[in-house]
Amino acid sequence: MPIQLTGVSYRYGQSPALRDIHLVIPEGGLTVLCGVTGSGKSTLLRLLSGLEQPTSGSIDYSHADSSASVSIVFQQPESQLFAGSVRKDVEYGLEQQAVPEPRRSEAADRAMRQAGLDPEQYGQRSPFLLSGGEKRRVCIAGAIAPLPRLLLLDEPTAGLDPPAARALLETAAELKRGGYTIVVATHDLDCFFPLADQVAVLAQGALRYSGPPDGLWKGARVLEDAGLEPPAYIRIGRMLMRQGGLDALPSGAGELLAELDPRSLVYPGSGAGPAAAGGERPSAASLSSTAGGAATDAITAADTDTDSADGSGSAKRQAGLVLRTLDPRVKWLAMALWSLVLLGMKSILPLALTTVLVAVLLACGGITRKRAVWFYRPFLPMFLFLWLLSAFSWSGADGAASFAFSSEGALTGGLAVLRLGLLVSLGFLFTETTSGAPLREGLEWAIAPLGRLGVRTRNWSLAVSVTLQFIPWILGKISALQLALASRGSRKRGLARWTPRQISLMAVPLLLQVIGMGDELSTAIEARGYDPSKPRTPWLVLSWRRKDTAALLLVLLAAALLWWVSGV
Q: Which is nearer to other proteins, 416 or 463 (CB)?
A: 463
- CB of residue 432 to other proteins, shortest distance in Å: 9
For residue 172, which amino acid is it?
A: A
Q: Which is nearer to other proteins, 257 or 352 (CB)?
A: 257
Considering only residues 279-338, where is the footprint of other proteins by CB under 8 A?
A: 280, 282-288, 290-292, 294-296, 298-300, 302-307
CA-only gyration radius of the chain, Å: 29
Considering only residues 15-74, where is the footprint of other proteins by CB under 8 A?
A: 36-37
CB 208 within 8 A of CB 221: no
- CB of residue 241 to other proteins, shortest distance in Å: 12
Q: Which is nearer to other proteins, 56 or 264 (CB)?
A: 264
- CB of residue 250 to other proteins, shortest distance in Å: 9
- CB of residue 108 to other proteins, shortest distance in Å: 27
Q: Is 531 exposed, middle or buried (0-12, 13-18, 19+ CB in 10 A)?
A: exposed
Interface with other proteins (CB under 8 A), residue from 220, 239, 356, 556: 239
Using CB under 8 A as the binding rule, whether residue 554 contacts other proteins is answered as no
User: Taking contact as CB under 8 A, which single stretch among the options 4-12, 109-117, 267-275, 340-348 is the one that binds other proteins?
Assistant: 267-275
403 three-state secondary structure: strand
Polymer length in residues for the chain: 568
CA dist list (Å): 38 to 210, 240, 475: 18, 34, 21
Considering only residues 392-421, where is the footprint of other proteins by CB under 8 A?
A: none
- Taking each helix axis from N to C end, the angle separating 162-177 and 103-114, rounded to the nearest 10 degrees, works out to 130
- CB of residue 440 to other proteins, shortest distance in Å: 9
CA 355 to chain centre: 31
Q: Which is nearer to other proteins, 108 or 223 (CB)?
A: 223
Q: Which is nearer to other proteins, 81 or 417 (CB)?
A: 81
Considering only residues 428-447, where is the footprint of other proteins by CB under 8 A?
A: 435-437, 439
The contacts of residue 37 (CB under 8 Å, 6+ apart) are none
CA 342 to chain centre: 34
Considering only residues 510-529, where is the footprint of other proteins by CB under 8 A?
A: 517, 520-521, 523-529
CA dist list (Å): 463 to 54, 285, 444, 468, 504: 42, 43, 11, 9, 27
Task: Using CB under 8 A, count the residues that bind other proteins.
Answer: 90
Q: Are strands 150-154 and 30-34 parallel, antiparallel or unpaired?
A: unpaired
For residue 44, which amino acid is it?
A: L
Considering only residues 187-206, where is the footprint of other proteins by CB under 8 A?
A: 187
For residue 155, which amino acid is it?
A: E
Per-residue exposure over 538-561, b if at least 16 CB sit within 10 Å of its own CB, e if not: eeeeeeeeeebeebbeebeebbee
Q: What are phi and psi of 18, to 5 degrees?
A: -140, 140
- CB of residue 247 to other proteins, shortest distance in Å: 15
Question: What character string, x for contact with other proteins (CB under 8 A) and - otherwise, covers 152-171?
Answer: ------xxxxxxx-x-----
227: number of Cβ within 10 Å: 13
Per-residue exposure over 277-312, b if at least 16 CB sit within 10 Å of its own CB, e if not: eeeeeeeeeeeeeeeeeeeeeeeeeeeeeeeeeeee
Interface with other proteins (CB under 8 A), residue from 377, 536, 545, 547: 536
Considering only residues 461-500, where is the footprint of other proteins by CB under 8 A?
A: 466, 469, 472-473
Interface with other proteins (CB under 8 A), residue from 16, 123, 132, 414: 132
Using CB under 8 A as the binding rule, whether residue 129 contacts other proteins is answered as no
Using CB under 8 A as the binding rule, whether residue 427 contacts other proteins is answered as no
Interface with other proteins (CB under 8 A), residue from 64, 129, 541, 568: 541
- CB of residue 485 to other proteins, shortest distance in Å: 22
Q: Which is nearer to other proteins, 90 or 172 (CB)?
A: 172
- CB of residue 120 to other proteins, shortest distance in Å: 23
Q: Which is nearer to other proteins, 247 or 307 (CB)?
A: 307
Q: Which is nearer to other proteins, 271 or 454 (CB)?
A: 271
Using CB under 8 A as the binding rule, whether residue 12 contacts other proteins is answered as no
DSSP state for residue 66 in the 8-state scheme:
G
- CB of residue 481 to other proteins, shortest distance in Å: 16
The contacts of residue 226 (CB under 8 Å, 6+ apart) are 34, 35, 36, 39, 201, 202, 203, 208
Using CB under 8 A as the binding rule, whether residue 556 contacts other proteins is answered as no
Strand (E) or helix (H) holding 198: strand 198-203
Q: Which is nearer to other proteins, 404 or 524 (CB)?
A: 524
Nearest-angstrom CA–CA distance, 565 and 545: 30
- CB of residue 77 to other proteins, shortest distance in Å: 14
